[in-house]
Structure 1
């Protein structure tokens, strides 16, 4: 049987809970020392497992289970930097607010957001989306008019489809003018679930 290298021997009998605590402490120390570009964790939800990613500025990415999480991490590495560490505790506020939302105890998110992954017109649209009240919907046309570019209906759809912070930035509340769902990064089942959850 292979023996662990000398430097790993002290961890050989360590429980998973202790290893998780050590990982969290490492993550916190690295964050304090500004050695991290991105902190990540996964969390369960009614729409499947979500990958959460944050920078020191705030939550930067939420990825659905239907997305390739490895590919998302590669994209984050290219866009934000290669120093990525799993640290659930660093994302406690994001996980707590999402849990409260799914339990119907929260109608508005207050956690800090990092808009680094979006820019220009798409960012303008995405920053507008939280103004659509919980339990309400808007059309792509309504959003285009609200941000002062009534002809940019298709561009609004693209901005919603590329939203890096779904759920927290509620692109699921934007529908086609005829009331049909349109597209959704997490799939139409997830969009339907979120809308039904908010209708109570």
Structure 2
């Protein structure tokens, strides 16, 4: 099995985009070489120890959509992606993608209610933290019950930037 990746610069730092050649399987903050061990561990769980190949061009369509997002020309994404995680994580990630519109925010409790498990607020937080599609699946739009910014896998500075960008 082979997974292909390329990187791009963005206003929130470098992004690595990973594809299985048919679907995007991950978008991560940082350069691939900085997260190679993390990606290897993650991929062993879902792809039977794949080989990562740097293949510029394979994700150009994704890079274009992300660039348009940062230029304020795009609010939604149209490329194919697929989730790799637990059934619970899939449910949470799909709820983020389907229910939090551009420029909106919701709480972890809102997401727990959306998936029909109102007592799973902490578990929702754990799933949000493992979101494999930074920016596209809008975990940056999830805030604490008190309305404050809490935790973000990419760092609160990135979360603040993305929310301010979408508020424009």
Q: Please give the root-mean-square deviation of Cα atoms over the aligned residues, in Å.
A: 1.6
- C-alpha distance in 1 between matches for 2:138 and 2:8: 18
* 1:23 paired residue number: none
Change (3 A) 1:177 1:122: same
Superposed counterparts of 1:31-180, under 5 Å: 37-65=2-30, 68-79=34-45, 80=47, 81-116=49-84, 118-130=85-97, 131-180=99-148
CA distances 1:39-59 after superposition (whole Å, capped 9, x unpaired): 101100011011110113311
Gaps of 5+ in 2: none
* Structure 1 residue 83, shift from structure 2 partner: 2.5
Q: Deviations over 1:76-115 (max 9, x none)?
A: 5523242321112110111011101111111001110021
Query: Does the CA contact (< 8 Å) of 1:55 and 1:114 recur in 2?
Result: no
Q: How far apart, in 2, do the equivalents of 1:128 and 1:99 lie?
A: 24
Distance between the aligned counterparts of 1:198 and 1:144, measured in 2? Answer: 24
Q: Which structure is larger by alpha-carbon Rg, 1 or 2? A: 1
TM-score (norm 2): 0.91
Cα distance in 2 between the residues matched to 1:61 and 1:45: 16
| Deviation beyond 6 Å, 4+ runs, structure 1 | none
CA distance in 2, matches of 1:71, 1:102: 28
SS at 1:63 equivalent: strand
Q: Secondary structure at the match of 1:134?
A: coil
State the number of aligned residues: 164
Contact 2:15 2:31 in 1 (8 A): no
Q: Secondary structure at the match of 1:90?
A: coil
Distance 2:42 2:142 in 1: 26
More helix by share: 1
The TM-score with structure 1 as length reference comes to: 0.77
- The Cα offsets for residues 141-175 of structure 1, whole Å up to 9 and x where unpaired, read as 01111111111111111111011111111000010
Does the residue aligned with 2:58 lie in a helix, a strand or coil? helix
